[in-house]
Amino acid sequence: MGDLSGRVAVVTGASRGIGKGCALALARRGARVVVNYNTHGDEAEEVVAAIAAMGSEAVAFGASVADRPAVDAMFAHALERFGRVDIAVANAALSIRGPFLELSVEDVARTWDVSLWGVFHTCQAGARAMVPRGQADGPLPGGKIVVISSVMSFMPFAHSVPYNTAKAGINHMAYTIAAELAPHRINVNVIEPGWTDTPGERRFTDDETLYAAGRQLPWGRLGTIEDVGEACAFLCSDAADYITGANLRVDGGFWLPRAPAATRSD
């Protein structure tokens, strides 16, 4: 599905979890990838090695998405190394959870710096790298931007005010950016994963609890990073060229009402 040979992708938070799934799915289709990380450099290098084993090319780049000069430097490095940027995946996020009455302003600000401002920085720096090439290519697409959001953007889970708010905000941010970038033929779309099996989930629960909960979901399991990666690859492919400002929910029906238990009629 969707040959991405010759394309260059920058994926934030790509050393593990959903970002890793996106980076590998894009590379599997031929894209060269900048594997962004902040605190897991060794794992980022493992992703780079996995991409090389596929026959594609990748480079790891350490930068916090909350640091705008660092994000600009990352895209500059991508242009210097590969000569172009075609795809930007704004995935990196941070969630500090706690009861609303006990949250500190600092904890909320830290979450928004990464999960809200980090998406803005990634999308704007990515678009600025794409627009000149799109203009030069005339009718050809200027690029693809994919924002990784969450079903928590509309499902108000308790103890997650900072993260829920950030995800709701980046959805509307992405739709607005999509409207502005349409004349440049830059597609901007959102993916909303549901409960996904990632290292980050282990910060809040243990494996046994996690998998038991997964079996109770409509699809009978948690989502995987591959599930989200495949959706990302589709939105970055030519098959999705007429899709922009859209929201693709990849949650196995997580948000759907649970069917009532069967009852006897006799």
Residues 153-185: pLDDT tens digits? 999 999 999 999 999 999 999 999 999 999 999
Structure token digits, residue 119: 């998406």
pLDDT at 5 over 80: yes
Distance of CA 261 to the CA centre of its chain: 35
C-alpha 125/C-alpha 138 separation (Å) is 21
- For residues 120-132, give the mean pLDDT: 96
Specify whether the CB–CB gap between 60 and 37 falls below 8 A: yes
The burial of 246, by beta-carbon neighbours within 10 Å (0-12 exposed, 13-18 middle, 19 or more buried), is given as: middle
The pLDDT value given to residue 55: 96
Write the secondary structure of 21-43 as one string of H (helix), E (strand) and C (coil). Answer: HHHHHHHHCCCEEEEEECCCHHH
Q: Which tens digit of pLDDT belongs to each residue from 215-265?
A: 989 999 999 999 999 999 999 999 999 999 999 999 999 999 876 655 444
Name which residue leads in pLDDT, 115 or 213. Answer: 115
- Give the residue among 198, 168, 193 at the shortest CA–CA distance from 89: 193
C-alpha 135/C-alpha 117 separation (Å) is 27
**3-class DSSP assignment, residue 147:** strand
pTM above threshold 0.95: no
Structure token digits, residue 35: 């594997």
- What Å distances lie between residue 195 and 169, 224, 227, CA to CA? 19, 9, 11
Tell me the domains of the chain and their CATH numbers.
8-250 (3.40.50.720)
Residue 37 among the catalytic residues: no
The pLDDT value given to residue 264: 44
Structure token digits, residue 17: 């979890």
Name which residue leads in pLDDT, 132 or 151. Answer: 151
The pLDDT value given to residue 176: 98
Structure token digits, residue 52: 């090389």
C-alpha 39/C-alpha 6 separation (Å) is 29
**Locate tokens 């779309």: which residue?**
189
Of the residues 163, 175, 211, 242, which is catalytic? Answer: 163
